[in-house]
Amino acid sequence: MNRLDPIGVIDSGVGGLTVLKWLQEKMPHERFIFIGDTARTPYGNRSREEIQGFVGEMTAWLNRRNIKQLVVACNTITVLGTDVIKNGYDFSVIGMKKGAHMVEGVTRNKKVGFLATDFTVASGAHKKEIQEMDPEIQVFGQGCPKFVPLIEGEQFGSPELAAAIKEYTDKLKEYDVDTVMLSCTHYPFVEKEIREAFGPGVTILDPAERTVQAAMEDLKQRRLNRETGLGRAEVCFTADLERGKRLAARMLDMNQCDFRLIHL
């Protein structure tokens, strides 16, 4: 492994592009290889065994490309656990941070909500981490099964997306939350609409920022961070390349990216 090796980034679909955006902004000298498994998205309603199998295929493909680090740009995959994802490979694994410490000092009434896939909510991981930090905080998870298909289907501005946003935000409003985490990487695609639905009294947090910070610290600690050169991203999808490009254009500087269709 050396500084010039690329960083791998994996996601169940296009949501991880929101994390890749942060990675490119914060680490402009690094090369990234992103895989969005658009052929099999969404993962949120699949079994653990299925998800583990899909992740194994992506990590094997990236290992052949000699990555120095793997950033898991997907909360559903992160729930599998770092050791399972790493599967004996040499590269380090950075999972999506749950953002527990981002909540500290932000919530005033100690009522925190998070929007996520059903799989992530059912795992209980977010609630556990926040309450370990501060047992007084009440945590309310809301599964949003309609979001990923609508975002992947580019249904921005549609009545269906508006109705889904209202449905899920109304449920969290019932608990009087004053802080909400976007605990799925797809959701920043509709962050503006979610903010408007909650109104100015609710703070919206994106844990991707904390995830990228962890990735930077890991590379520095292992002396594998690049400090010179022009960075670039190879953005790979397992299906629907043109759709992937259109969604990427909402998040990324297209001049810094190359796109390709791959088969795992």
Where helices occur in 188-264 by DSSP H, the ranges are: 191-198, 208-221, 241-248
Domain 7-96+209-261 has CATH 3.40.50.1860: yes
Which class does domain 100-207 fall in?
Answer: alpha beta
pLDDT above 90: percentage of residues in the chain: 82
d(CA 21, CA 178): 27
Q: Same CATH topology for 7-96+209-261 and 100-207? A: yes
Active-site position among 144, 184, 236, 257: 184
Residue 104: what pLDDT? 84
Q: Tokens 């004053």 belong to which residue?
A: 178
* Per-domain residue ranges of the chain: 7-96+209-261, 100-207
Could you list the residues known to form a binding site for substrate, using ranges.
11-12, 43-44, 75-76, 185-186
User: What percent of the chain stands above pLDDT 70?
Assistant: 100
pLDDT digits (tens, 9 = 90+) for 219-253: 999 999 999 999 999 999 999 999 999 999 999 99
pLDDT tens-place string over residues 139-185 = 999 999 999 889 988 999 999 999 999 999 999 999 999 999 999 88
**For residue 126, what pLDDT band results from cuts at 50, 70 and 90?**
confident
Provide the whole-model pTM: 0.85
Residue 212, pLDDT score? 95
Active site residue 184: yes
Q: Where are the beta strands (DSSP E) in the chain?
A: 7-11, 31-36, 69-72, 92-94, 111-116, 138-143, 179-182, 203-205, 232-237, 257-261
What is the per-residue pLDDT for 39?
95
Which of 117, 112, 132, 111 lies closest to 79, judged by CA?
Answer: 117
Catalytic residue among 74, 144, 236, 257: 74
Cα–Cα distances in angstroms (integers) from residue 152 to residues 19, 128, 147, 201, 249, in the given order: 16, 30, 8, 29, 13
* pLDDT at position 207: 87
Angstrom distance (rounded) from CA 211 to CA 196: 25
